[in-house]
Amino acid sequence: MTSTQSKWLEAELKYDSRVVGKHEVVMTRGQGSVVWDESGRSYIDCVAGYGVANIGHCHPDVVKAIRDQAERLLVMPQSLPNDKRAEFLSELVGVTPAGLDRVFLCNSGTEAMEAAKKFAITATGRKRFVSMKRGFSGRSLGALAFTWETKYREPFGEAVDNRNVDFVTYGNIEELRAAITSDTAAVILEPVQGEGGVRPASPEFIQEARRLTQEKGALLILDEIQTGFCRTGKMFAAEHYGVVPDGMTLAKAMAGGVPIGAFVMTADVADRMPAGGHGGTFGGNPLAMAAGVAAIRAMKREGMAEQAREKGAYFMEKLRAIQSPKIREVRGLGLMIGVELKEKSAPYIHALEHEEGVLTLQATPLVVRFLPPVTISREQIDTVVAAFERVLN
């Protein structure tokens, strides 16, 4: 503990579980694409809460919605209908692909994945799943069964039971064809693998996954927890591929920063779950619902999907213009961007934060990932690219 460390950092390091590695800064404020630490230093935030602050930190519409709802009603379980929940469900179903009009509400991506797993089992009467190598589905023991990297699963041994999961190489149609059988309840895949290194799927792969699952009576579940809500240049990444899945897991940006998750599905899938077969205390709470209504309306009103498409193309063009022997590839979709280096990315991520005031994150050891708010300005993109070029040299 250095003497300059604040009392906040001291307390957090003292009492936190510390399962998550901590940076030695204390962030106290955010607005749009900028966050400030307790000393008043500003950072352009290309972490955005791991792809949560798509509409920007403290979007005024979301702040107002939270303030208004906080003065009306915070607590109402899903067994008791609520006006804000009805408004949110209508708003959400208004933007999901046609046919995905039944929603299980929860509070995180992992919870959405847990729900998806249970709905798929009751919808098909089957218990096997196909998931992707390099895939990430969450940290709960059920979601971890679909998560590929052993580092996430190792400490828990057999408690992570993935004996009913067949992993296939992301993008490999032959492996996919062989893995989907009449025992398969669902194929789980991210349209762009996020934690797995920012890897967009080929249209052929997702379209074949759709065709094969239909052929074999299995569900196609797209995990849009990181790709959803304008991140990739469409409201949902599925739209790039012209595919309508049987279900989508959603979370992160859906409520403008307030914790939320959802499994959206077809009526066929929803109706096969026995009454009372799943649930949760906070799902559909009025606060998250009010924030979600404001967030989705802001996305639509401000054309954020188009913003992500345009700015993502600009951002990747500028990154590709960097002349550096350290860069292997710049890839991504919309404002979900990864730069794969020929060496470990951690030192550059550290330098960006401490020397340049730019926050970025890893996606596997060699990749620097950029997940800025969609509302980032082109000037801020220029600043980030110039900073990245400096730390590479």
Ligand X SMILES: CC(=O)N[C@@H](CCCNCc1c(COP(=O)(O)O)cnc(C)c1O)C(=O)O
Residue range at the interface with ligand X (CB under 6 A); choices 55-63, 153-161, 177-185, 221-229? 221-229
Question: Applying CB under 6 A, which of residues 69, 82, 96, 108 lies at the interface with ligand X?
Answer: 108
Secondary structure, 3-state, 18-53: CCCCCCCCCEEEEEECEEEECCCCEEEECCHHHHCC
**Least distance (Å) from ligand X to the CB of residue 230?**
16
Nearer to ligand X, 37 or 190 (CB): 190
In the complex, the smallest distance separating the C-beta of residue 143 from ligand X, rounded to whole angstroms, is 7
Q: How far apart are CA 251 and CA 223, in angstroms?
A: 10
What's the closest the beta carbon of residue 21 comes to ligand X, in angstroms?
8
Interface with ligand X includes 360 (CB under 6 A)? no
If binding is defined by CB under 6 A, does position 114 make contact with ligand X? no
Cα 364 to Cα 383: distance, rounded to the nearest angstrom: 24
The span from the CA of 91 to the CA of 85, in Å, is 10
- The region of 68-76, 84-92, 137-145, 273-281 touching ligand X under the rule CB under 6 A is 137-145
Task: Give the residue, chosen from 109, 200, 228, 312, that forms a contact with ligand X under the rule CB under 6 A.
Answer: 109
Of the pair 333, 392, the CB lying nearest ligand X is at 333
Q: How far apart are CA 358 and CA 371, in angstroms?
A: 12
Least distance from ligand X to the Cβ atom of residue 43, Å: 16
Q: Of the candidates 34, 66, 225, 258, which one interacts with ligand X according to CB under 6 A?
A: 225
* 138 lies in the site for ligand X, by CB under 6 A: yes
Tell me which of 33, 54, 96, 110 binds ligand X, using CB under 6 A: 110
Answer yes or no whether residue 345 interacts with ligand X by CB under 6 A.
no
Cβ at position 146, least distance to ligand X in Å: 9
Q: Are strands 184-189 and 192-193 parallel, antiparallel or unpaired?
A: unpaired
Which residue sits closest to ligand X, CB atoms considered?
109
Q: Cβ closer to ligand X: 221 or 391?
A: 221
Token representation of residue 291? 């924030």
Please give the sequence-ordered ranges of beta strands (E in DSSP) within 141-255, or none if there are none.
165-168, 184-189, 192-193, 199-200, 219-223, 247-250
Minimum separation from the CB atom of position 99 to ligand X (A)? 22
**Considering only residues 230-259, where is the footprint of ligand X by CB under 6 A?**
251
Chain position carrying tokens 């590709």: 320
For residue 37 the two structure tokens come to 């630490």
Q: Cα(309)–Cα(361) distance, rounded to whole angstroms? A: 21
Beta strand ranges found along the chain (DSSP E): 27-31, 34-37, 42-45, 102-106, 128-132, 165-168, 184-189, 192-193, 199-200, 219-223, 247-250, 261-265, 327-333, 336-341, 358-359, 361-362, 367-370
Nearer to ligand X by Cβ, of 88 and 392: the residue is 88
Residue 331 phi, psi dihedral angles, 5° rounding: -145, 165
113 or 258, CB closer to ligand X? 113
Closest C-alpha among 118, 111, 378, 383 to residue 261: 111
The count of chain residues that interact with ligand X, using the rule CB under 6 A, is 17
Do residues 59 and 295 lie in contact, with contact meaning Cβ atoms separated by under 8 Å? Answer: yes
- Single residue of 43, 136, 170, 388 touching ligand X by CB under 6 A: 136
> What minimum distance in Å lies between the beta carbon of 204 and ligand X?
21
Q: Show Cβ contacts of residue 34 under 8 Å, excluding neighbours closer than 6 positions.
A: 42, 43, 44, 45, 57
Torsion angle (degrees, nearest 10) of CA 300, 305, 311, 315: 140
Residues 180-199 that bind ligand X (CB under 6 A): 190, 194-195
Is 136 or 241 the residue whose CB approaches ligand X more closely? 136
Residue from 139, 177, 216, 278 in contact with ligand X (CB under 6 A) = 139
Lookup result for tokens 């729900």: 115
Under rule CB under 6 A, which residues in 48-77 are in contact with ligand X? 50
Q: Which is nearer to ligand X, 232 or 385 (CB)?
A: 232
For ligand X, the binding residues (CB under 6 A) are 20, 50, 108-110, 113, 136-139, 190, 194-195, 223, 225-226, 251
